[in-house]
């Protein structure tokens, strides 16, 4: 079992994004995020699942080229959606 708040492993990410594999599905999840924000219960559940049950607080390091740091997971997620880089990990 992974420590709560840590990102998913590569295998876990494949499983997590299996239902979002097409850009259309991933963009729908991003639309929910844009419409309802990070505090929406569905969005929070997705974020918690992506991070082993706990949404990380504080600065986030990412694999996004040109922007390696974000102040929080919500900002990272919005950026990932805006850049249409849906499957980038933290």
> What pLDDT, in 10s, does the model give residues 14-72?
777 766 666 677 788 899 999 999 999 999 988 998 888 999 988 988 877 787 789 99
Euclidean distance between CA atoms 50 and 57, whole angstroms: 14
Predicted confidence at residue 46, as pLDDT, reads 87
Predicted confidence at residue 20, as pLDDT, reads 60
- Reduced to 3 states, what is the DSSP secondary structure of residue 61? strand
φ/ψ of 70, rounded to 5, equals -135, 150
**pTM assigned to the model:** 0.70
């Amino acid at each position: 079992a992974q420590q709560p708040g840590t990102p998913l492993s590569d295998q876990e990410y494949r499983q997590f994004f299996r239902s979002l594999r097409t850009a259309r599905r991933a963009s729908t999840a991003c639309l929910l995020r844009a419409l309802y924000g990070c505090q929406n219960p569905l969005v929070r559940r997705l974020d918690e699942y992506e991070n082993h049950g706990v949404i990380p607080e504080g600065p986030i390091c990412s694999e996004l080229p040109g922007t390696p740091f974000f102040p929080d997971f919500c900002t990272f997620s919005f950026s990932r959606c805006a850049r249409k880089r849906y499957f980038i990990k933290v």
